[in-house]
Structure 1
């Protein structure tokens, strides 16, 4: 038997099934995907935009910010945030559909995966949530207005983090 590359790899080699039973398996975004498309014309983006996600049930998965679940997504955990100013709870990443973004579909958030172990016993993520009202409408309108030759209007361009 060869020596494992790390303590984490040793854990996986002895009991990998148990270590992999839970992990960051929750989708960042389930809305607007082809799996959730039941539209008559096959236009997943327009059929299930971000605005519908908080009031419609998904059939084939779940989503969330910094989500964690069992392998089959029978039990899912994710953050729900509220800054006291937004009209809705922040339960999932906001983004634009293919027709709304000037370069196609695009998530309009600031988040970074910083570290993780192979067993998922340690996970580190940074999510930047503005303390002012989140500019849902402004991101949508500004990106709709811009042409394909112009840069995208991002959350950092809104001035909320200055």
Structure 2
């Protein structure tokens, strides 16, 4: 979930150095797709509160959350190829669902991406906005809602 913070070539070189022959490097991310009404409301919130930042595009219409991770998989795959030492990488996707409580979702919001780098006032505005969206959206029933997740994974075996 953090490989995007690693230089893709330097990380692949280091992974090749420490993996035994035949060992596998797997980098992955979990992408969350909210129910349509929640996604639309969150997009409105994020595009306004985070204007001018990469987070503004979160929940953008017209693509799945997993599609947004393809760039990271491309970058990781290019790093593996440039570093050498690995067989051609494979991509996998695994779909799953999880039910969240409102407080549980609010607890995870600050753990994503560059949230901690945002000014404190913006962090509070986003959390307050998310709380408001979740308290008024039809997808939230009895304080819970279901999120469709996709785990996207790139795996490559260390060459012999």
Q: With the length of structure 2 as denominator, give the TM-score of the two structures.
A: 0.26
Bigger share in helix: 2
The structure in which a higher percent of residues are strand is 2
